[in-house]
Structure formats: structure tokens, C-alpha cells
Amino acid sequence: MSQASQAEEAPRKRRFQMPPAFRYPAYRAYWLGTLASVGGFQMLTFGQGWLTFEETGSEVRLGFVLAANGFASIALNLFGGVLADRLDKRRLIITTQLVTAALIFLLATLVFTGVIAYWHIVVIALFSGATNAFDQPARQALYPHLIDRKVMVSAVALNSAVWQGTRIVAPGVAGFMIGQLGTASSLYMAGSGFVVMAMVIFWLHIPKIETVVRGSAAQNLLGGLKFIAGDRVFSFLIGMTFFNSFFGMAYVAMMPVFTVDVLGVGAEKQGLLMSVGGIGALGVTMLLGARSNFAQKELLIIGGAVVFGVSVAAFALTAQYVGNFYLAMALIVIMGISSSAYMISIMSSLQILVPNDKRGRVMGFYGMTWSIMPLGALWAGVLGDAIDSVPWAIAIGGLLVSGFAVGPALVNKRLRSIGTLLQEAEQGPVDDRRAPDRQTESAPTAGAND
């Protein structure tokens, strides 16, 4: 083959290279386990919400179930982060995944035997939230040790692709199973996903992670909080996550209200509506997952948050005053695109900038902001009940998300130049224990020149 032909063939081969983070076998196995676990979580969330609304018909009680999960996570996430920095992350993940599976199987059995009561749902939500508080920081602190920092954006995006992809498939599957086989069948399948994740982590060969944290748990906890509070970049990024979870994502928990009371559709249409929300998000996620890095990340963070907040408000108000199901689907797609773009950028920025010895505690605090999402559902439910309009409560939350993204960035130049900080941090050393597959080790790193 001539040199000219080889030159033409090389770009074609690069187009079909696997995403950079997938070149690391341990990360690939972890990703597959996460796919099963998150799929189970998505089905649990759908089934739990539908079960509660079916049993009670109350948006406030629906909010309380989700808040029970959130209260436990918020109370314990910081302690979960401390343990993630102090203990064997692998064993911690296996334990939490199995405990969560047992709780879901219990809920499914109560539904199957016909003895389910509202308080059962609340108590199980409380304990599953408490378990997640120790699971989430350990998982977020584990996978950066399976890759090199130069492919962190790819790894974060691929993790997000799991969430976005299961948002397309899992709600539709859950809605179909509930409609055809009953809620218990959907819950049993959800619990099985957590068992799969525990098995994957059990058999996964993970390099030994040295624990360098010293002092008492209380000292570790305070040290982590001081680190976050003392850095405006970390405070801003985690603050944006808080606003996204509390105000922006409340529409997810209130979806039964939109589908039943506002749009007048049932469980299967609710599953379809939630599924299409992941289509645009998954496209953006896979784009970022195929790259080692992305320039001008500050624009993705701030601009994405603004578009997301405005589109949430538009979705809520058009559902109320237009009532068109297909318009709602289109706006959900826009919400997915914008949300995915800026949340992946936030998470990858945190993972790149945080020191290894504080990773568990920072991720614990980060996870606490996501655990606040059920409280946002409670806030939306209570405010919606007070003003007699859940859509207006959701719209107000969306606008608050946009406002927080713009405000701090306008007054702080450092927040507008996060990309420069990341470029400096990404020049960290390569850990040979995380070497990619031998067949790709000598190949050019995908996205290196992006």
C-alpha cells in the first residue's frame, strides 16, 4: 500500500477507535457493572414513584417518599466520603450493593403478596438512601484509579452515558412490566441489577489503593469541608450541582403529576416521556466520551446550565397551558442535551482537580447534592400544593438554576477560566498499573489533538 493510501486509511481507523477510557480493561468491567446497577436504580425510581402515586394519589406523599430517601443520604453522605477515603473501596461497594438489592427484593415481595402499605415504601426508601450514602462516594472515588487523568473526561462521560442510556430503556421497560406483569416484577428486576454490580466488583482486579488519611473520622470530615469551602472553584461547581438537583431535577419526581393530572396520560406514556429525555443527553454524552478532553469547558458549564434551566421552565409551563404531549417530548430532549453537557463538565472538572487523599470526601459532598434531589421534589410538591400549580413550582426552580450559573461567573474571573486550571492539572503522571490494553497501548491516544 502506498504512503498516500496509508495516510487516507489512518483517519478512517481512528474514527472507529474505542473511547479513550474503554482502553483500560478494569474500567470497562467497572462500567458494565455500573450499567446493570444504574439500570436497576432507574427501574426502582420509576416503580417506587408509580407505586406511591397509585396507592395514595397524592403528590405530597410522593414527595415525602422521595424525601425519605434524600434525608438519609444527606445525613450520611459526608460520613460515606470519610469511609471511602479510609477503608477498602472495593469491599464497601460490594456490601452496599448487596444491601440495596435486599431492600428492593423486600419491597417487591411486599407488593407481590399484597400487604404493601405506604409506610413500608417510606421506610425502605429511608434505608436505601442511607445505604446509597456509603455506596456513591466509594464508587466515585474508585474509578479514577482505573484510568489516567488524561482520559478523565471520557470516563466521566461514559459513566454519564450509563445514566442517560438507562433513562431511555429502563423507564420504558419498567412501564411495560408494570402495565403487563405488575409492579413487583419490575422491582425484582431492579434488585437484580445491584447483585450484578456486586459480583463484578468482587471479581474485578483492582490495583491496591494506598490509604494515606490520618486522624479521627471527625477530623477527616472537617478537613474535607474546609478544603471545599476554601476553594471558590470547588464551591461554585458543587453549588451548581446543588441547584441542579434541588430545583432543576424536581420535574423527574413530579412526572406522575404531569403525566396523569396535567397531560392526561398513563404509566406507559410516562415511561416514553422519560425515555426520550435521554436521547439528546446520550448523544452529547457519547460525543464527550469519545474525546480525551474538550476545550472551553467553562462555556459548557455556564451555558449548559442556562439552557437547561430555561427549558425546564418552558416544559412545565407549556405542559400546563398548551397540554401537547409531543411538545413536552421535544422540550425534554433539549433538557437532556443541556443538562448532560454541563453536568459531565462539572464532574470531570472535580475529578481532575481533587487530590487523591480527599477524593472520597469531595465526592461524598458532591453526592450529597444529588441526594438533595428528593428534597427538591418535596419542595416542588409543597409549593405546587400551596399555589395550586405544580408546573409553576417546577418553572420557578428551572429559572433559579439559570440564575445561579450566571451570577457567580459574572463577578469572579477565576470561575470564567476553569479551562486553564484543568489544562494545568491534567499534566499529572501516568500510573503504569492502569495501563490500557496491550493492543492499543502503542496507538495514538484518541482525542489527543482535540
Q: Which domains does the chain have, with CATH numbers?
A: 20-205+223-427 (1.20.1250.20)
CA distances from 10 to 140, 293, 439 (A): 35, 21, 16
**C-beta atoms surrounding 437 within 10 Å:** 13
Q: 444 — phi, psi (to 5°)?
A: -60, 140
Run of H or E residues at 337: helix 325-353
- Rg of the chain's alpha carbons, rounded to an integer? 22
Please write the tens of the pLDDT for every residue from 277-305: 767 777 777 776 665 555 567 777 888 88
Q: Residue 290 in contact with residue 413, Cβ under 8 Å?
A: no
Amino acid at the residue 312? V
pTM over the 0.75 mark: no
pLDDT of residue 158: 87
Measured CA to CA, the distance from residue 424 to residue 308 in angstroms comes to 29
* Grid cell at residue 44: 426502582
Query: Is a pLDDT exceeding 90 seen at residue 431?
Result: no
Measured CA to CA, the distance from residue 382 to residue 386 in angstroms comes to 6
Run of H or E residues at 180: helix 152-181
Q: Specify the higher pLDDT residue, 1 or 171.
A: 171
pLDDT of residue 5: 45
Measured CA to CA, the distance from residue 303 to residue 405 in angstroms comes to 8
CA distances from 380 to 144, 252, 316 (A): 35, 11, 12
Banded pLDDT at 30 (limits 50, 70, 90):
very high
Measured CA to CA, the distance from residue 396 to residue 249 in angstroms comes to 12
CA distances from 428 to 22, 96, 97, 440 (A): 20, 32, 32, 21
CA distances from 250 to 14, 16, 44, 246 (A): 41, 38, 17, 6
**C-beta atoms surrounding 222 within 10 Å:** 14
pLDDT of residue 209: 63
**C-beta atoms surrounding 105 within 10 Å:** 17
Neighbouring residues of 87: CB distance < 8 A, sequence distance ≥ 6: 211
Q: 210 — phi, psi (to 5°)?
A: -70, 135
Amino acid at the residue 26? A
Mean pLDDT for 195-209 is 83
* Grid cell at residue 227: 478544603
Q: 434 — phi, psi (to 5°)?
A: -105, 25
Banded pLDDT at 258 (limits 50, 70, 90):
confident
Q: 429 — phi, psi (to 5°)?
A: -70, 155
Placement of cell 459513566 in the chain: 159
Mean pLDDT for 126-149 is 85
